[in-house]
């Protein structure tokens, strides 16, 4: 196992220097109109021998080794570089690009400076950047994370709590952090038609978010029936295969 980790860690370093990572973009839509409101950037690895590798196969190690900081900055820079093209395919007054954050990214003062310099380099408005986090992002270092996240929201960027309802996100996070968007985990949306209990959890999450003045995105919408149920429950945004799978920039048409 140690050898596997070492090989993978070396491969990640090579991937960064040889530009083997890629971002796929998935639309986040207004549930009622299906207009594209924004996109979530999802990393992929075009591994020379193992083919297209999904994020969960390598991010865990990058997190352990600290390489995630560099991977995270690469992701942010690529998303900002691509944003002007993506932006043209949105249909809303407040378009955004969502980028996922990892726990060790939020540990040092440098992070905010790095984000600012990437935004400047690509002439990107901070208000169009949304950072997605789970509570694992905060758990390691709650006070520093809060300070850094506040600096980012002061710039005008917004925060989304990802996978809401699972073990990785909590009510305490909603209470203490300046969260603007709540993303209901796919686990609940995918079971909500079959399970009254899941449906109640989705419904309560939507109400909670709206009471707190947050937007709600339901993740993992695969069918029209689920979309309709979510609309009935007052959910405003959705993401899932029904609207579009994550695809390369060149395959985005708007
Ligand atoms: P996430 O942020 O919750 O992203 C949503 C995941 O659900 C994505 O998986 C997406 O492809 C998948 N998905 C979207 N719609 C549907 C659907 O209708 N049905 C089903 N079955 N799946 C759907 P993906 O791309 O494999 O990413 C997995 C996780 O890896 C992400 O979960 C996120 O936590 C993490 N991740 C991805 N890219 C990055 C990144 O650049 N940085 C960091 N730190 N984490 C990332
Ligand atoms: Mg996400
Ligand atoms: Mg999620």
User: Which pLDDT score is estimated for 136?
Assistant: 80
Residue 170 has pLDDT above 80, yes or no: no
Do residues 178 and 149 make contact, with C-beta atoms less than 8 angstroms apart? Answer: yes
> For residue 212, what pLDDT is reported?
95
Give nearest CA residue, ligand 1 atom 22: 220
Task: Give the pLDDT of residue 220.
Answer: 98
pLDDT band at 173 (very low <50, low <70, confident <90, very high): confident
What is the structure's pLDDT at 254?
59
Nearest ligand, measured from the Cα of 59:
1
Spacing, Cα 219 to ligand 1 middle (Å):
10
Among protein residues, the one with the nearest Cα to ligand 1's atom 37 is 42
Instruction: Report pLDDT digits (tens) over 9-64.
Output: 999 999 999 999 999 999 999 999 999 999 999 999 999 999 999 999 999 999 99
Total length of the chain: 254
Query: pLDDT (tens digit, 9 = 90+) per residue, 117-142?
Result: 999 999 999 999 999 998 787 776 78
* Residue 23 burial by Cβ neighbours in a 10 Å radius (0-12, 13-18, 19+): buried
Q: Is the CB of 22 under 6 A from ligand 1?
A: no
Tell me what the mean pLDDT of segment 151-156 comes to. 96
Look at residue 5 in the predicted model and tell me its pLDDT: 93
- Give the pair of three-digit tokens for residue 31: 């549930």
Encoded tokens for 88: 């043209």
8 — pLDDT class (breaks 50, 70, 90): very high
**220 Cα–ligand 3 center, Å:** 8
The number of the ligand 1 atom at minimal distance from the alpha carbon of 246 is 11
Angle at 26 between CA 133 and CA 36, to 5 degrees: 105
Q: Whose CA is nearest to atom 4 of ligand 1?
A: 42
Ligand with an atom nearest the CA of residue 38: 2
Residue 98 has pLDDT above 70, yes or no: yes
Please state the atom number of ligand 1 nearest to the C-alpha of residue 101: 44
Question: Distance between alpha carbon 214 and the CA centroid of its chain, in Å?
Answer: 16
Please state the rounded mean pLDDT for residues 57-80: 96
Average pLDDT for the chain: 94
pLDDT number for residue 15: 97
* CA torsion, ordered 182, 230, 167, 163, to nearest 10 deg: -50
Q: What is the pLDDT of residue 202?
A: 97
Q: Kindly state if the Cβ of 59 falls inside 6 Å of ligand 1.
A: yes
- CA atoms lying within 13 Å on the CB side of residue 54: 2
């Amino acid at each position: 196992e140690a050898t596997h980790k070492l090989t993978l860690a070396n491969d990640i370093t090579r991937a960064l220097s040889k530009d083997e990572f890629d971002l796929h973009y998935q639309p986040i839509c207004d549930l009622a109109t299906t207009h594209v409101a924004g996109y979530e950037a999802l990393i992929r690895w075009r591994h020379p021998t193992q083919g297209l590798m999904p994020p969960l196969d390598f991010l865990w190690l990058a997190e352990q080794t600290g390489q995630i900081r560099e991977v995270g900055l690469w992701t942010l820079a690529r998303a900002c570089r691509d944003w002007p093209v993506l932006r043209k395919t949105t249909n809303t007054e407040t378009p955004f690009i969502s980028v996922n954050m990892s726990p060790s990214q939020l540990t040092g003062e440098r992070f905010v400076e790095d984000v600012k310099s990437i935004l400047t380099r690509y002439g990107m408005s901070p208000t169009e950047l949304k950072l997605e986090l789970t509570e694992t992002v905060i758990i390691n270092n709650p006070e520093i994370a809060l300070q850094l996240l506040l600096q980012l929201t002061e710039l005008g960027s917004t925060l989304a709590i990802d996978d809401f309802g699972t073990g990785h996100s909590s009510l305490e996070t909603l209470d203490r952090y300046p969260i603007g968007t709540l993303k209901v985990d796919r686990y609940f949306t995918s079971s909500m038609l079959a399970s009254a209990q899941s449906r109640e959890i989705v419904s309560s999450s939507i109400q909670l978010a709206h009471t707190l003045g947050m937007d709600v995105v339901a993740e993992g919408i695969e069918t029209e029936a689920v979309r309709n149920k979510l609309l009935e429950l007052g959910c405003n945004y959705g993401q899932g295969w029904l609207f579009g799978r994550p695809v390369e920039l060149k395959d985005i048409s708007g």
